[in-house]
Amino acid sequence: MIATNSSFSQGKQSRNDLNEIFQESFALTWRLFIQLIRRPSTLFAGILQPLIWLLLFAALFSKAPVDFLPGSSSYGEFLGAGLIVFTAFSGALNAGLPVMFDREFGFLNRLLVAPLSSRSSIVISSVIYITTISLLQSFAIMATSAFLGYGWPSLGGFFLITITLLLLVFAITGLSLGLAFVLPGHIELIAIIFIANLPVLFASTALAPISFMPEWLGLIASINPLTFAIEPIRMAYHNSVDLKLVLINAPYGEVNGYSCLAILFILTVGLFFLIRPLLNRKLA
């Protein structure tokens, strides 16, 4: 027989907000990973695309004069850092898509009717999922890059790369989640992802140093968040990790490693503060 409300309290966990937030966040994250395991094409596409870039672009510019590339012995080596960041960036930019589909297909309503201890669980699960995916994809690019002979960072360098990628992924995930709640549907979100992806890449130091660029593009590249992530990673590949070193010779002045990380941190915190009222309203 179907029991009624009398035994509900027996089935409940002892009431502890942290336990509850953990339980619901874990369940929501687990759902996203089940989706990934059963539909892994997005994961592979996210790895494959930058790999093709790495192979083709490195081949395309293999005879370029490497003396102009700061600290690199080949164009492939120079390109590696850019593509690691681009992979993480592209992955994070897609963070809003699962949320958008849940909004459109009504699954979000199922979550919103439930007495979640904190609606942040919905955001937390997306952030955990996208961060893991983006890091996995980026590490796959690093491994391939090493296999192609473009080097592997030291332990300190690896740590710096991870921190840098985490900051960038958090910031872009926040932006994408914000868009997922503002835009009317997935078509619009995908359109923005398409429009943003390549121009942001080209207007950064992923493919060429600032010194190669006309002044206007150099200025854009020197304020592009991707550049602040690419240069510390490039340093992690080429030098011993020294964040005091000047990494970007921007038109507005010199930017060292600490400043790069600080800017990414401020961007992440700023974006999350910016979307917080929106998430509060949408998930209220």
Torsion of CA 234, 238, 242, 244, to 10 degrees: -60
Residue 13 interacts with other proteins (CB under 8 A): yes or no:
yes
CA 89, 95, 98 angle in degrees (round to 5)? 150
Instruction: Quote the least distance from Cβ 76 to other proteins, whole Å.
Output: 38
Evaluate whether 123 touches 279 at the Cβ level (below 8 Å): yes
Which residues have CB under 8 Å from 206's CB, separation 6+? 79, 81, 82, 83, 85, 86, 226, 230
Our CB check for other proteins shows the closer of 115 and 214 to be: 115
Quote the tokens at residue 163: 């921190």
Q: Which of the residues 124 through 183 are near other proteins (CB under 8 A)?
A: 181
Q: Nearer to other proteins by C-beta: 10 or 63?
A: 10
110 part of the interface to other proteins, by CB under 8 A:
yes
**Residues 55, 59: Cα–Cα separation, whole Å:** 6
Euclidean distance between CA atoms 242 and 156, whole angstroms: 10
Question: Among residues 39 and 244, whose Cβ is nearest to other proteins?
Answer: 39
Among 62, 109, 154, 211, which residue sits at the site for other proteins (rule: CB under 8 A)? 109
- Cβ atoms of residues 229 and 257 within 8 Å: no
In this complex, which beta carbon is closest to other proteins, that of residue 101 or of residue 265?
101
Question: What number of chain residues touch other proteins (CB under 8 A)?
Answer: 45
Asked if 44 is part of the footprint of other proteins (rule: CB under 8 A), the reply reads no
What is the C-alpha separation between 108 and 11, in angstroms, rounded? Answer: 24
Q: How far is the CB of 284 from other proteins (least distance, A)?
A: 8
Distance from the Cα of residue 263 to its chain's centroid: 15
Q: Binding mask 181-210 vs other proteins (x if CB under 8 A, - otherwise)?
A: x--x--------------------------
Cβ proximity to other proteins: between 26 and 212 the closer is: 26
Taking a C-beta distance cutoff of 8 angstroms, is the pair 239, 111 a contact? no
From 40, 45, 60, 104, residue interacting with other proteins (rule: CB under 8 A) = 104
Is 41 a binding residue for other proteins by CB under 8 A? The answer is no
Residue 278: name the closest of 123, 105, 97, 121 by CA: 123
Q: Work out whether 240 is an interface residue with other proteins (CB under 8 A).
A: no
Work out the angle at residue 232's Cα, subtended by the Cα atoms of residues 226 and 235, and round it to the nearest 5 degrees: 130
Q: Determine which residue in the list 66, 107, 136, 148 makes contact with other proteins, applying CB under 8 A.
A: 107
From the CB of 40, what's the least distance to other proteins, in Å? 11
Nearer to other proteins, 65 or 115 (CB): 115
Q: Cβ closer to other proteins: 19 or 154? A: 19
Q: Choose which of 41, 63, 113, 244 interacts with other proteins (CB under 8 A).
A: 113
Structure tokens at 145: 């890059």
Calpha distance 98→186 (Å, rounded): 9
> What does the block give as tokens for 47?
């790895």
| Contacts with other proteins, residue ranges (CB under 8 A) | 1-8, 10-13, 19-20, 23-24, 26-28, 30-31, 34-35, 38-39, 103-117, 181, 184, 282-284
